[in-house]
Structure 1
């Protein structure tokens, strides 16, 4: 038997459509469906699926409440389906905060060029987040190993057990910009990192999260209410200011223009040839050109390899590149691409990235 999937939606048409797509993948099998959140909670407990797809708005019990109950009793990778509206975006972000791992719009055509691409997108997302299931029931380690450039592990090597927390030391480099790129699992990861930063953070922060346009405005607003620093959706012409994080708008490309002391944000369409809008590579490349060796950059959880080429340009310019480690990623795609290419100098567990940033900047 392949990976077992529970499909939850109050629409019979959507349940059937999603089930057909999932069953079309050789590794996936829909073992049952549920028509509301209450049924989802019950069937998650009895059937123990590998993945659950979950609607947000349903009768009897909504998807957010169901996610909270499932994660409390039977932690399971959950993929949310959302409408591309402001309210839908806010609800989806709440579901991710409650423990869901990823989301897709209910109208697949909004994020895919054709039917085949939409089918492959859904199937691949389900397969990828299913791999996280084995970590969800495992107690968190007391301390995670930190890979540095001088202690990089080989492909087949296994890290030795760590008896205590590894202390961090500042490299002594000087920075003028922080840049963070991420995708699947990124909203929760960014929230964890950014909420730990102080209001007097010494330079601007660029955030590139693969996300639809409606979601980026809602996500920036949510982060701004939770963080001590200011967070905004970037606008064309914004002057980069210390203590402010600029989130790349969905459907556009964010670049840096000007000189390091007086740089501004450029928001452009980017054309149809780009696979990602926003694209981490585009922003990182422009940051490397303007700030050269003064960028503290990191690639967090996400599917694919976006960020690898831009990170290489940053490293070649003398800037610092870190990657999130595999154990703490929802999908170890983007960070793995950077680590395998030998670009990242450190691979860090999510729960210690903010600490590492503050140590590096001499703030802790």
Structure 2
């Protein structure tokens, strides 16, 4: 298989050198060029035909956002990974870049960071994302296997999902031999996402009514500052009250709590109320917050009265938690491969036989509303005019 060809764009010569050093040390990655600003990058893009681009946000001449807008006009499918700083300004611009079509981001090493720390940081963050976004994380000889499409979504008692055209979705049912009991009405919606998640979450939450009958809890793999700004952005865009979770926050219908960066989000039942509990326990699946931690807690507190959704993301975080939810009788939806930036997390759930349905991103909100709303407003058989 040919190497992953990368164009590195950054105004800092130190950062360009670190990134090139790290990537060229990998056996399957080649840096085909570097550029000190957006204008130079756009000039080199056509000649070099890279498989992926790393793009700094703050640059002279033409900054990262301006470069991204121009790049997407001619290279709509080339993965672009933004280099961002862990600052309020950097986080805000990164979220804007993601909304403009950036594939993902990594934290930019500072010029004052020790060289060994910078090299390690870039290697740990950037290399896996480049492989995943270019489809090179699948072992040789084992191509991705699309799941068998079907003409309708599987139906289950008391909780019908909105039908979706077969050309837009693929569906899997429960694991062979699994016996499913009656489905309880969901009392909570839990969502997990990672790479591509901010825009996927925006598509889902803007499709939900402010009168949603259940609380929503979300884990999106992001560092501190980023999660707060993401919550503010989603709250402005949707009819729901979206906020970064704080210790002791009570879960309420129509309210969305997003796990803060660097903290796991768990749920605790206190009498009739359920509240958020933040912990700094060990990372799971190399993540904190981790979807598995949230799903495990949801399974413990709500059991089968849960609706879980796994959206686009790298890795398999959420699969083990989905197994626990499934065992309790909860319903699980996963984003389909065609609309995922990276079909890692939802793919892991699907291939484990845990997904009740695979849905294109624009069908997820409707499926949530139908699952919650239809059960709340069920019309008895024979009562229709």
Instruction: Report the TM-score, using the length of structure 2 for normalisation.
Output: 0.81
Matched, 1:352 2:363: yes
User: Taking structure 1 as reference, are residues 56 and 118 closer, same or farther at Cα in structure 2, changes over 3 Å only?
Assistant: closer
Matched, 1:264 2:275: yes
How do residues 1-364 of structure 1 correspond to structure 2 at under 5 angstroms?
Answer: 1-75=2-76, 76-107=78-109, 116=120, 118-131=122-135, 162=166, 173-258=184-269, 261-271=272-282, 275-362=286-373
State which drifts further: 256-265 or 112-121.
112-121
Give the deviation of 1:271 after TM superposition.
3.4
User: Taking structure 1 as reference, are residues 19 and 177 closer, same or farther at Cα in structure 2, changes over 3 Å only?
Assistant: same
Aligned to 1:156: none
Counterparts of 2:22 and 2:62, CA distance in 1: 25
**Structure 1 residue matching 2:312: 3-state secondary structure:** coil
Counterparts of 2:194 and 2:35, CA distance in 1: 28
Counterparts of 1:309 and 1:355, CA distance in 2: 26
Count of residues paired in the alignment: 339
Aligned to 1:138: none
Give the deviation of 1:96 after TM superposition.
0.5
Give the deviation of 1:172 after TM superposition.
7.1
Give the deviation of 1:45 after TM superposition.
3.0
Instruction: Report the TM-score, using the length of structure 1 for normalisation.
Output: 0.86
Give the deviation of 1:361 after TM superposition.
2.2
Counterparts of 1:190 and 1:147, CA distance in 2: 24
Counterparts of 1:165 and 1:341, CA distance in 2: 18
Give the deviation of 1:362 after TM superposition.
2.8
User: Taking structure 1 as reference, are residues 287 and 341 closer, same or farther at Cα in structure 2, changes over 3 Å only?
Assistant: same
Give the deviation of 1:121 after TM superposition.
3.2
User: Taking structure 1 as reference, are residues 273 and 46 closer, same or farther at Cα in structure 2, changes over 3 Å only?
Assistant: closer
Contact 2:11 2:59 in 1 (8 A): yes
Counterparts of 1:239 and 1:113, CA distance in 2: 39
Counterparts of 2:202 and 2:168, CA distance in 1: 26
Give the deviation of 1:359 after TM superposition.
2.0
Contact 1:149 1:344 in 2 (8 A): no
CA offsets per residue over residues 71-105 of structure 1, 9 Å max, x none? 12222210000000011000000000000000000
Contact 2:282 2:288 in 1 (8 A): no
Counterparts of 1:273 and 1:321, CA distance in 2: 21
Give the deviation of 1:287 after TM superposition.
0.7
User: Taking structure 1 as reference, are residues 304 and 114 closer, same or farther at Cα in structure 2, changes over 3 Å only?
Assistant: farther
**Structure 2 residue matching 1:302: 3-state secondary structure:** coil
Q: Specify every segment of 5 or more residues in structure 1 that has no aligned partner in the other structure, as ranges.
A: 133-143, 151-160
Contact 1:185 1:302 in 2 (8 A): yes
Give the deviation of 1:23 after TM superposition.
1.2
Contact 1:258 1:264 in 2 (8 A): yes
Contact 1:252 1:278 in 2 (8 A): yes
Counterparts of 1:61 and 1:326, CA distance in 2: 34
Rg (Cα) greater in structure: 2
User: Taking structure 1 as reference, are residues 94 and 294 closer, same or farther at Cα in structure 2, changes over 3 Å only?
Assistant: same
Counterparts of 1:163 and 1:305, CA distance in 2: 26
User: Taking structure 1 as reference, are residues 129 and 146 closer, same or farther at Cα in structure 2, changes over 3 Å only?
Assistant: farther
Contact 1:147 1:346 in 2 (8 A): no
Contact 1:220 1:233 in 2 (8 A): yes
Counterparts of 1:164 and 1:32, CA distance in 2: 38
Give the deviation of 1:173 after TM superposition.
4.4
Contact 1:259 1:291 in 2 (8 A): no
Q: Specify every segment of 5 or more residues in structure 2 that has no aligned partner in the other structure, as ranges.
A: 137-148, 156-164, 171-181, 378-385
Contact 1:146 1:348 in 2 (8 A): no
